[in-house]
């Protein structure tokens, strides 16, 4: 057992009695204490409650419980409400907010006996692609501390890549699981919209937000995903299904892929072929595994980034109107009037990027501009979705890059908002269409990890995980660690 052991390996170790969950959890806490100062990937470390949960898991195991997830340590992105624990969403606005209840993802994982060791750093309200928008400071990429880990789930990605935890939850509105997974050399699954409950997950853009696992391999992603997913009556957009394969996966792991697939390469994603040699290696490997590659077209891809930033900002502007200094979080000192209370609490509580989104979102929703921006963006969203439907009449899954560049330097893009938004080029189309996608490590560029993205039709997570597991069974990109020479 070492810091890069997988959840599955730890589970087997617990079963054999090699160590207890308390010992395992303590080892995780020690590593986090030691590494967090340099990486800044945790906002809160919950040593006491983690050790108490671990002791309870040991007790249950001693009394015969066989659940594979019982007693496994992991971390939550600090966007999930955790009862009695600080829940900040990376914002000054919520820097004093102790959640009064658990998000469904949090209660699902606790019910499976998993042990949360803490809450990870993130871009404020999940808005960003570099984790530089956190009130709690930037996170360092474990591969190069001068560089960003990606965002918004940058703390989770860095913690997993550095071996502080084997799994962490993330959320993805336009790429926030997949892009940091790619930039940190780990595996991240963004599920189908509606698959994982949004209840208690602090809202950014409600028609896009979706939670998923960030782990070092597909097997662990499948394990965590199967625990996180499921119908939840408390989320009105939750899908009323719980596929049988989810429970089978928890018990036995991912079922082997039993047929060759047709994999589509969207030509629009490969038009900038400057540094795509790492994807060529992945293509060759997939062909060697017996899969057929064909070219497809997603003609409205170009519009995806502008459409996403119109819609996500519009939804953010309404979601974030609840932070008015009255009910949640930061309140200004000595307000002179109700208006003053609202204005100063919001002025002081929100960071610059969040304010930018609220302003643009409010603008595109206002009378006179609604038709030209919001409505038009909704129409194009439909076209983007139809592009995918069309492609999936010909192919089983799609293959694409996850991010246009490897991890960039801190401060490199902070003044160039459009360049920062362009980071999401390959991830937002899937989000707009509500489809599942997984990012997995597949090579290096300038010594930094790169990811590839596999995209499936709605509710096709099993196929994605099967293909990812098959690929990882034959390659070792997911086993490369920061500090190894690339
Ligand atoms: N980078 C994108 C944004 O800033 C996506 C963020 C996310 O998925 N939460 O909106």
- pLDDT tens across 66-125, in order? 899 999 999 999 999 999 999 999 999 999 999 999 999 999 999 999 999 999 999 999
Residue to probe by mutation, ligand 1, list 121, 126, 320, most atoms within 8 Å of CB: 126
Q: Where are the domains of the chain?
A: 7-260
Which residues are annotated as catalytic? 77, 152, 176
- Average pLDDT on 204-209 reads 98
Ligand 1 atom with the shortest distance to the CA of 128: 4
DSSP designation for 372? I
Nearest 5°: the CA angle 84, 87, 90 is 165
Residue-level pLDDT at 384: 98
- The 10 Å Cβ neighbour count of residue 366 is 12
Residue to probe by mutation, ligand 1, list 153, 170, 175, 418, most atoms within 8 Å of CB: 175
Indicate the helix (H) or strand (E) that contains 342.
Answer: helix 338-349
Ligand 1 atom with the shortest distance to the CA of 173: 8
Ligand 1 atom with the shortest distance to the CA of 153: 9
Q: Atom 10 (ligand 1): residue with closest C-alpha?
A: 127
| Tokens (6 digits) for 429 | 């189309």
- Cα-to-centroid distance, 24 and ligand 1 (Å): 33
- Cα-to-centroid distance, 373 and ligand 1 (Å): 19
176 CB within 6 A, ligand 1: yes
The 10s digit of each residue's pLDDT in 363-407 is: 999 999 999 999 999 999 999 999 999 999 999 999 999 999 999
First to last CA, the chain: 24
172 CB within 6 A, ligand 1: yes
- Cα-to-centroid distance, 424 and ligand 1 (Å): 7
Q: Atom 5 (ligand 1): residue with closest C-alpha?
A: 174
What is the value of pTM for the model shown? 0.98
CA 140, CA 186: separation in Å to the nearest integer?
15
Half-sphere exposure of 53 (CA within 13 A, CB side): 24
- Cα-to-centroid distance, 157 and ligand 1 (Å): 15
CA 163, CA 160: separation in Å to the nearest integer?
5
Q: Smallest Cα–Cα separation from 107: which of 24, 169, 38?
A: 169
- Cα-to-centroid distance, 59 and ligand 1 (Å): 41
Indicate the helix (H) or strand (E) that contains 211.
Answer: strand 210-215
Contact criterion met (CB below 8 Å) for 453 and 426: yes
- The 10 Å Cβ neighbour count of residue 71 is 29
CA 331, CA 5: separation in Å to the nearest integer?
44
The 10s digit of each residue's pLDDT in 26-82 is: 999 999 999 999 999 999 999 999 999 999 999 999 999 989 999 999 999 999 999
Residue-level pLDDT at 274: 66
210 CB within 6 A, ligand 1: no
Ligand 1 atom with the shortest distance to the CA of 126: 9
Residue-level pLDDT at 473: 98
CA 340, CA 322: separation in Å to the nearest integer?
16
The 10s digit of each residue's pLDDT in 406-440 is: 999 999 999 999 999 999 999 999 999 999 999 99
What percent of the chain is helix, strand and coil (3-state, nearest 5)? 40, 15, 45
Contact criterion met (CB below 8 Å) for 351 and 95: no
CA 278, CA 475: separation in Å to the nearest integer?
13
- Cα-to-centroid distance, 128 and ligand 1 (Å): 5
Question: What is the average pLDDT value for the chain, to the nearest integer?
Answer: 96
- Average pLDDT on 194-222 reads 98
Residue-level pLDDT at 242: 87
Q: Is 418 exposed, middle or buried (0-12, 13-18, 19+ CB in 10 A)?
A: exposed
Residue-level pLDDT at 485: 56
131 CB within 6 A, ligand 1: no
128 CB within 6 A, ligand 1: yes
Q: Smallest Cα–Cα separation from 281: which of 441, 395, 150?
A: 441
What pLDDT band is residue 276 in, cutting at 50, 70 and 90? Answer: confident
Fold of 7-260: Amidase signature (AS) enzymes (3.90.1300)
- Cα-to-centroid distance, 15 and ligand 1 (Å): 39
- Average pLDDT on 172-194 reads 98
Ligand 1 atom with the shortest distance to the CA of 308: 10
Residue 273 has pLDDT above 70, yes or no: no
- Average pLDDT on 14-18 reads 96
Residue 484 has pLDDT above 90, yes or no: no
Strand blocks (E) in 93-174: 115-120, 167-172
361 CB within 6 A, ligand 1: no
């Amino acid at each position: 057992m070492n810091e890069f052991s997988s959840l599955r390996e730890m589970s087997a170790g617990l079963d054999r009695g090699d160590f207890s969950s308390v010992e395992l959890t303590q080892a995780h806490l020690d590593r986090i204490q030691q590494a967090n100062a340099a990486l800044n990937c945790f906002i809160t470390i919950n040593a006491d409650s983690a050790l108490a949960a671990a002791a309870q898991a040991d007790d249950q195991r001693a009394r015969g419980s066989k659940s594979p997830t019982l007693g496994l340590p992991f971390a939550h992105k600090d966007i999930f409400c955790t009862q009695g624990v600080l829940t900040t969403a990376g914002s000054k606005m919520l820097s004093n907010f102790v959640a009064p209840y658990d998000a469904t993802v949090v209660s699902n994982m606790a019910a499976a006996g998993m042990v949360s060791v803490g809450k990870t750093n993130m871009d404020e309200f999940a808005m960003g692609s570099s984790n530089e928008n956190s009130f709690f400071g930037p996170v360092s990429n474990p591969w190069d501390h001068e560089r960003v880990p990606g965002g918004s789930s940058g703390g989770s990605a860095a913690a997993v890549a550095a071996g502080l935890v084997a799994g962490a939850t993330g959320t993805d509105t336009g790429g926030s699981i997949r892009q940091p997974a790619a930039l940190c050399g780990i595996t991240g699954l963004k599920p189908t919209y509606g698959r994982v409950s949004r209840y208690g997950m602090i809202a950014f853009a409600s028609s896009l937000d979706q939670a998923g696992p960030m782990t070092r391999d597909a097997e662990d992603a499948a394990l965590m995903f199967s625990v996180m997913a499921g119908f939840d009556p408390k989320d009105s957009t939750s899908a009323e299904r719980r596929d049988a394969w989810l429970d089978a996966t928890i018990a036995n792991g991912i079922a082997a892929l039993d047929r060759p697939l047709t994999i589509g390469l969207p030509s629009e994603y490969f038009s900038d072929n400057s540094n795509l040699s790492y994807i060529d290696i992945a293509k060759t490997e997939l062909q060697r595994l017996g899969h057929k590659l064909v070219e497809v077209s997603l003609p409205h891809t170009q519009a995806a980034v502008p459409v996403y930033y119109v819609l996500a900002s519009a939804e953010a502007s309404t979601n974030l109107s609840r932070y008015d200094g009255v009910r949640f979080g930061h309140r200004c000192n000595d307000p002179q009037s109700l208006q003053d209370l609202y204005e100063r609490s919001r002025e002081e509580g929100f960071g610059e990027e969040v304010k930018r989104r609220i302003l643009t979102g409010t603008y595109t929703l206002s009378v006179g501009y609604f038709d030209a921006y919001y409505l038009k963006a909704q129409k194009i969203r439909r076209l983007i979705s139809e592009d995918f439907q069309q492609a999936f009449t010909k192919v089983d899954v799609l293959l694409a890059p996850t991010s246009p560049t490897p991890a960039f330097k801190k401060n490199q893009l902070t003044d160039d908002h459009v360049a920062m938004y362009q980071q999401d080029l390959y991830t937002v189309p899937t989000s707009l269409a509500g489809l599942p996608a997984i990012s997995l490590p597949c090579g290096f560029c300038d010594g930094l990890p790169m990811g590839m993205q596999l995209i499936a039709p709605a509710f096709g997570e099993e196929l994605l995980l099967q293909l990812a597991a098959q690929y990882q069974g034959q390659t070792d990109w997911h086993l490369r660690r920061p500090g190894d020479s690339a």
